[in-house]
């Protein structure tokens, strides 16, 4: 792709993301059949989503509820129940055991990026990075964000890739982007 075409595509993508972000900030977003209210924190919204019961159970088992109710701001790439179900059989049950709390905590905090990166900010980072952005997670790992086919893809350190299916779910202490895969650190 020529530099000119890339910049034109990037400009269009940024404009769309910014417009979507502005609409999302005003409109009430539904996730898992429940309204996500910008006046509530990440946990208070997540517990109402039927699509995130596994994530909520994992956050509780890892002892991260108080952290994610804190002031943040946080950007959370939130895997759905289907994303957890796609892991090898028995993985979630094993991770939820008390003796695996450290591993579970690392995996969950790998989905959290300090700061508030809505679609417009993420798109700008991707454009500034000439097609990709490297994100430092709360666990100390990295995620790579790219725009592909009009969607944002998040790639983990093992080469696994998740698609953002719902962007800009604003919270009082950050923003959630729903993803269709569980991201795994090295």
- In SS3 terms, the chain reads as CCHHHHHHHHHHHHHHHHHHHHHHHHCCEEECCEEECCCCCHHHHHCCCHHHHHHHHHHHHHCCHHHHHCCCCEEEEEECHHHHHCCCCCHHHHHCCHHHHHHHHHHHHCCEEECCCCHHHHHHHHHHCCCEEEEECCCCCEEEEEEECCEEEEECCCCCEEEEEEEEEEECCEEEEEECCCCCCC
N- to C-terminal Cα distance for the chain?
31
Domains recognised in the chain with CATH numbers? 3-179 (2.30.180.10)
Task: Measure the CA–CA gap between 107 and 136, rounded to whole angstroms.
Answer: 14
Which pLDDT value is given to residue 147? 93
Is the CB of residue 37 less than 8 Å from the CB of residue 24? no
pLDDT at residue number 23: 42
Q: Which residues of the chain have pLDDT under 70?
A: 1-27
How much is the pLDDT for 16?
A: 44
Residue 27: its pLDDT value, please? 57
């Amino acid at each position: 792709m020529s530099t000119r075409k890339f910049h034109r595509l990037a400009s269009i993508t940024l404009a769309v993301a910014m417009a979507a972000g502005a609409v999302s900030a005003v409109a009430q977003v539904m996730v898992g059949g429940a309204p996500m209210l910008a006046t509530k924190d990440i946990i208070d919204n997540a517990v109402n989503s039927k699509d995130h019961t596994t994530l909520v159970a994992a956050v509780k088992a890892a002892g991260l509820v108080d952290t994610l109710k804190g002031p943040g701001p946080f950007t959370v790439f939130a895997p759905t129940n289907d994303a957890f179900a796609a892991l090898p059989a028995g993985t979630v049950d094993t991770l939820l055991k008390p003796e695996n709390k450290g591993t579970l905590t690392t995996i969950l905090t790998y989905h959290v990026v300090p700061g508030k990166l809505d679609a417009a900010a993420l798109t700008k980072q991707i454009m500034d990075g000439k097609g990709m952005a490297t994100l430092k997670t709360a666990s100390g790992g990295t995620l790579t964000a790219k725009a592909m086919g009009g969607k944002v893809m998040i790639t983990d350190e093992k080469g696994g890739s998740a698609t953002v299916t719902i962007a800009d779910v604003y919270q009082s202490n950050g923003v959630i982007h729903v993803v269709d895969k569980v991201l795994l650190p090295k």
